[in-house]
Chain A
Amino acid sequence: MNPQNVTVRKPKIQKNYTKHKLLFFIILTALLMLAVVFANQLCPYNPNAQIFEPLETPSAAHICGTDRYGRDMLSRVLIGLQTSVLSTLLLVAIITLFGTAAGVLCGYFGGKTDALIMRVSDVCLAFPGLVFALAIAALLNGGLRNAIIALAVVSWPKYARIARSQTLSLKNSDYVFAARLSGDTSVEIITRHILPNIFGPILVTAMLDIGTMMMELAGLSFLGLGAQPPTAELGNMMSSGRSMLQTYPWVIISPGIAIFLAVAVFNLLGDTVRDYLDPRNSGK
């Protein structure tokens, strides 16, 4: 065959950019976290001081305008972002730790405890998540702390299931047998051999859950079952701006954009971490 007639098909995506993407999103997340940590210093005004004209249009002095009580919106959005992000991270940490611990113990020891915990988790999974959380939050009388508890009760089974199934498969692997023959106790086997090897999938799930949990927590606040006024929280800020959407849109749009950006950044980071840890991507 004439070599000039041969079409060489070039791959459309020539290189795997996962590493660069990961770095990029880590930087974005770091920036977001800096804004969250230093929110108090970044605030131009006291977020709770009702000292300005109510419902001022955005201007150089008030980039996001003011709300109906004459509070600076930018300051409130920054503090609200801090409240939202920190409580979301706390929530994800709680469900990850508790869910993983429950799952590993169930998978490793089995028996009646396993059956009991897994049936409880079935019950939790049987309800539609947010509706169940609403019911619990309402029962607990609202408030940010109770909203976190409600969402934690609804969300831990996912982690317990992942951890349990991974533990079940590792429990009968040769290296866990070998560790037992080396004289390891159950605790040593769990901490040295099982946990480090199930860490990957759980980390990915947790990263992907940050965005979702942030939405749900803001959702509960939006419905009045999360943070209570005057606490600045993105969900309840949107809720209070709801009636003024057509007349004073900045009151609802600025916290909306803040939620959108934060959720997008966390979701993209989670996706990239998943791609990065995917074994099919390694070795490139």
Chain B
Amino acid sequence: MLFFMETFIGGLMAGVMYSLVALGFVLIYKASGIFNFAQGVFALFAGLALYDFIAEGGWFFGLFGFTLPIWAGIIATMGVMVIVAWLVERVVLRHLVNQEPIILFMSTIGLAYVMEGLGDIMFGSDVKPLDIGLPQGASDFLLDSFNLYVEKLEVVAAGTAAVLVIVLAIFFQKTRIGRALRAVADDHQAALSVGISLNTIWVIVWSVSGFVALVAGIMWGSKSGIQFSLSLIALKALPVLILGGFTSVPGAIIGGLIIGVGEKVAEVYAGPFVGGAIENWFAYMLALAFLLVRPQGLFGEKIIERV
């Protein structure tokens, strides 16, 4: 039972990490209908940029001879992500307004290639340990009182994700920009006609998802170092997305938890019978099974088709 609890909690925590990436997808999909495959690379890029601002091996240290304190590094990285968002809007999206979704999707894959290549050229492709002072190791409290082994870092990640969702919810529901974002998500043309600037909104949304990517990059980077494979977590986030529904923020979180737990439990209990390493495809099969019952995902908007 204890072992099951540990597996279960481990799954939940892994799920939170997936959710962090999936959140970025949902934000962009909601506001612009673009399926942004580059989200994983965004997380990698943000992590690399942050590393370079705060670590002694980075560019910033090489140029100026000192490193930024962590808080300033995070703010500077935010700045980098805003610039990236602005560039993406300027160079790519502006020219592709009104194109078919698949064209936009492919252009984000192109974007992922560009950012991956640039990231490698600019920052090098070796694994970089990211240490911003997040607690490491097992949680003593849980270990002592319940005999459960849970990583502190994962608890922090779960807390961060919760805070992030609340902040995003407030941002979407209570602020002027949030209202504009929801209007754009509802209907591009209607939003334009009441004077909302699509271009500005897109820059904002891509910046916000850049921020989410930064958080994901920090969490994943603290866990396993910043490395190329970070860009592949996008592939982990996809089943989370279709399970939760492309358009739902809570869906991304709950989908992530379901996938995380399902994956871990299946790997531990069913994996040995079929030869193991089923984590790669189990999430997809689980999501596929869910989709057959609910084609729009758990919380996605119902797809109504008319002739």
Q: Do A and B come from one complex?
A: no
